[in-house]
Amino acid sequence: MRYVFSSRHQVLVSDPKELEKIREREFDITSERIKMILAAGGGAVEAALSVFLENFATTLGSREQLAIGEFANSALVLPKTLAVNAAKDATELIAALRAFHYKAQTSPDCKHMAQFGLDLVEGKVRNNVEAGVLEPSMSKVKMIQFATEAAITILRIDDLIRLQPSQDDQE
C-alpha cells in the first residue's frame, strides 16, 4: 500500500493502475484550471472586445454609440502596435483578425475562432491557444480596467475645464 498526496486530498492506494488514474484526474483538473486563468495572446482578446463593443454600439443611441465605437477602436491599438513593431502589414492583419472574431461571435459553428490571434513570425492569423501563445487573463482584465479608468479620468478633467468660465466671459 502507498499513500498518495495530491493538492486536494490524501489517498491510500494499493493498485498501481489506480494510482495512475488518480494522477491523470489530478492532471486534468490542473490543466482545466490553467485554461481558465490563461487567454489567447497575440491581440485575440483585444480584437474580440473590439468586435463585441462595435456590435453592442449599434444597439444604442447616437452619443453613446459614438463613444463605445471609439472605445472599440482603441482596443485595437495593442494588436496594431504588435503588427507594426513586427514590420508586418498592420491593416491587413487587423482586418483578418477582426473577421475571424466577428465569425466567432456571430456563427455558432465558428466558436473556436475566438482563440485566433496574430502570428507575427509568419505574418498571419492563427489559433494562438494551439500554438501556445497565451497570456494571463487577470493581466488582460486589469489592463482593460486601467485603460478605461484613465479614459474616464481624462474625460472628467476635460469636463471640469469646460465648466470653468473663461476670463473673457466674466468681463
C-alpha–C-alpha distance, residues 124 and 42, integer Å: 11
C-alpha–C-alpha distance, residues 124 and 118, integer Å: 6
How many residues belong to the chain? Answer: 171
pLDDT in tens, 10-42: 555 556 676 677 667 766 666 666 656 888 999
C-alpha–C-alpha distance, residues 128 and 125, integer Å: 9
pLDDT in tens, 118-156: 999 999 999 999 999 988 888 888 888 998 898 888 877
∠ CA(41), CA(52), CA(67), 5° rounding? 110
Fold of 41-163: GROEL; domain 1 (1.10.560)
